[in-house]
Structure 1
Amino acid sequence: MRPLPPIAAMRALEAAARHLSFTRAADELHITQSAVSHQIRHLEEFWGFPLFKRQSRGLILTEQGEALADVIRSFLEQMEQTLGRLTETEVRGPLKVSLLQSFAVKWLVPRLPDFQAVHPEIDVWISTNDDPIDFGEGEADLAIRLGGGNYPSLFSELLLTEKVFPVCSPRLAERLGMPECPRDLLRYPLMLRNNEERTATWQEWFLRAGVENPQLADGPRFPDTNMALQAALADQGVALVRSAHVGDDLEAGRLIRLFDVDYPSASAYYLVCPKGRENQPKIKAFREWLQEEAAAARSSYAALGI
């Protein structure tokens, strides 16, 4: 296949052929007349034949120049139409977002109507899992992951950091009485994770609270934070939670925080997507909205002391 010249030179030929003037072509392309003349001369040298005849009254296309100008004009128009369709699809097509179920239920989904109000042209499709995403297979356009931010093959940006602390429902506190010190919580039903021995989240909190070697009683165990939180909302016990999961519940009075003791989570929420796609229209719109919501959430958490 014969090599093609630069697209800028082909644009210069198409414009000059249409106007039969290097000056008017330069005005249209927002370059200088000498730049257009240079591009045409480059094409003539590249292809080995003249494209214009320079006459005292102006320019006339040669037979070769007229044939090539028609082909280039058709090519540029088709490319513009194709790009227009692709851009429209990119903006209007669904945005597939993958994230943890707990974060989706307690943080993202309640806020989604605000995004839809601003961007009704973008349908957000939510999927919940914590598995590695195969972006190449179209499983998701964007993911929100809980981790340390080490995603070398992906674009990533920090969304939210979190603190960890215990909460319970007002009804449970009224029924069992408010604990007077952190050690008192060992007498309360604590919502444990299935892997509590491995993660030792309650152990970490009691250590921060000055309680050494706490002995956690056996009790209900849950596979994830969201289920433990739902149990706490149902007055079943005390849950150790992450701030992003309970901000709205604390503000509404559905939960109360127990003690001014917390510790920063070792993991944070990150937005991730394939490198180079972060500024595609629908992804950029969602990213910018998420960052605005995260900033508002941080202000709300600060007011709540979390």
Structure 2
Amino acid sequence: MRRYRLPPLDLLEAFEAAARHLSFTRAADELALTQSAVSRQIAALEESLGVPLFQRMHRALRLTESGELFARTATGVLMQLQGATEQLRHIERQKTVVVTTTPGFAGLWLIPRLSSFTARYPGVDVRISASFTLVKLEREGVDIAIRYCASAVAGPQAVKLFGEVMTPVCSPALRRTPGKPLKKPEDLRHHTLLYTEQSHSAPLYDWSMWLRAMQLDIKPAAALYFSDYDQMVSAALRGQGVALGRLPLVDQLVRERKLVTPFNQSVASPMGYHLLRSETSADKPEVSDFSAWLMEEAAR
């Protein structure tokens, strides 16, 4: 048994247009139909409802009382349906890529490069979730994860974007501080060292690991601690101390001479950045485009 006993939608459209214009001719022009086709549709609707909707006079058209009531209802229903249709079409047209990664990678590497992606794909919205939480991509509706980990734990579906090298970095002004040379690793004893203190930090975040690799046992002039890596880099940019730079996260800042590497010595990290795509996003062209763009940027 049918739940709704309604007339066809094309009959409602013809009626709404005729009621609004009080003219079959103008309604026909709006709907790209003939006047006789609109007249037949209105007659079919009246027969279906069992009541007259219009008074047909010589060169004039007027709604009956039943017609006025039905016109108000039909107009409201069609407007609601039109609004819902446009909303769904907008959702369908909107292309979105949801990315999760660490705050340091997002702030120092990804976001500064995003303008090249949006210029190439202006119709795609990119939503970045910067967090150290390892989310389940399919469950959380995330398309792409860029994870900082060792290759052995990245998973067979992950693609390595690049590895990592650790070397001290500082502002050019700090390197030129009178009476505080910064020409060799031993000179770090004259300076403030910048640290991060996240519980999730890998060992190579720690200055002690780099100093041990250099076979140095020194005590710095002072130490500053920050909760996030990008905060620490911000302090280094302002000349507040020497940070342990992670390349390529700070590559751009070094190329722009906002940060300098005072020594040639560096330590290779077992960690790296790996691209992982959600299985449910495999067929989304915008996700494929973003993945290809990421690998292209990483190859630079």
TM-score interval, normalised by the smaller of the two chains: 0.5 to 0.7
Aligned CA distance change for structure 1 residues 125 and 180 (closer, same or farther; 3 Å): closer
Give the aligned partner of residue 194 of structure 1: 197
Larger Rg: 2
Shift of 1:278: 4.1
- Report the aligned-residue RMSD: 2.6
Alpha carbons 1:191, 1:221 under 8 Å: kept = yes
Q: 1:142 aligns with which of 141, 144, 155?
A: 144
Give the aligned partner of residue 182 of structure 2: 179
Give the aligned partner of residue 237 of structure 2: 233
Note if 1:208 corresponds to 2:213.
yes
Shift of 1:136: 2.8
Give the aligned partner of residue 53 of structure 1: none
Give the aligned partner of residue 266 of structure 1: 270
Q: For 1:174 and 1:228, locate their aligned partners in 2 and report how far apart those are by CA, in whole Å.
A: 20
Q: Which runs of 4+ in 1 moved over 6 A?
A: none
Shift of 1:198: 8.2
Aligned CA distance change for structure 1 residues 198 and 295 (closer, same or farther; 3 Å): closer
Give the aligned partner of residue 246 of structure 1: 250
Q: For 1:180 and 1:282, locate their aligned partners in 2 and report how far apart those are by CA, in whole Å.
A: 47
Superposition map of 1:1-306 within 5 A? 89=92, 92-149=94-151, 150-152=153-155, 155-176=157-178, 177-194=180-197, 199=203, 201-211=206-216, 213-216=217-220, 218-275=222-279, 277-278=281-282, 280-296=284-300
Q: For 2:283 and 2:218, locate their aligned partners in 1 and report how far apart those are by CA, in whole Å.
A: 49
What SS is found at the alignment partner of 2:223?
coil
Aligned CA distance change for structure 1 residues 223 and 132 (closer, same or farther; 3 Å): same
Runs of at least 5 residues in structure 2 that lack an aligned partner in the other structure: 1-87
Alpha carbons 1:96, 1:141 under 8 Å: kept = yes
Aligned CA distance change for structure 1 residues 134 and 198 (closer, same or farther; 3 Å): closer
Residue-pair matches, total: 208
Runs of at least 5 residues in structure 1 that lack an aligned partner in the other structure: 1-84, 297-306
Alpha carbons 1:155, 1:275 under 8 Å: kept = no
Alpha carbons 2:142, 2:278 under 8 Å: kept = no
Alpha carbons 1:225, 1:241 under 8 Å: kept = no
Alpha carbons 1:168, 1:239 under 8 Å: kept = yes
What SS is found at the alignment partner of 1:258?
coil
Q: For 1:139 and 1:175, locate their aligned partners in 2 and report how far apart those are by CA, in whole Å.
A: 50
Q: For 1:193 and 1:126, locate their aligned partners in 2 and report how far apart those are by CA, in whole Å.
A: 22
Shift of 1:112: 0.8
Alpha carbons 1:168, 1:255 under 8 Å: kept = yes
Shift of 1:216: 4.7
- For residues 100-124 of structure 1, give each alpha carbon's deviation from its aligned partner in whole angstroms, at most 9, with x where no partner exists: 1111111111111111111112111
Identity level (%): 28
Alpha carbons 2:166, 2:245 under 8 Å: kept = yes
- For residues 22-61 of structure 1, give each alpha carbon's deviation from its aligned partner in whole angstroms, at most 9, with x where no partner exists: xxxxxxxxxxxxxxxxxxxxxxxxxxxxxxxxxxxxxxxx
Shift of 1:170: 1.0
Q: For 2:283 and 2:158, locate their aligned partners in 1 and report how far apart those are by CA, in whole Å.
A: 12
Alpha carbons 1:155, 1:278 under 8 Å: kept = no
Aligned CA distance change for structure 1 residues 179 and 218 (closer, same or farther; 3 Å): closer
Q: For 1:108 and 1:195, locate their aligned partners in 2 and report how far apart those are by CA, in whole Å.
A: 21
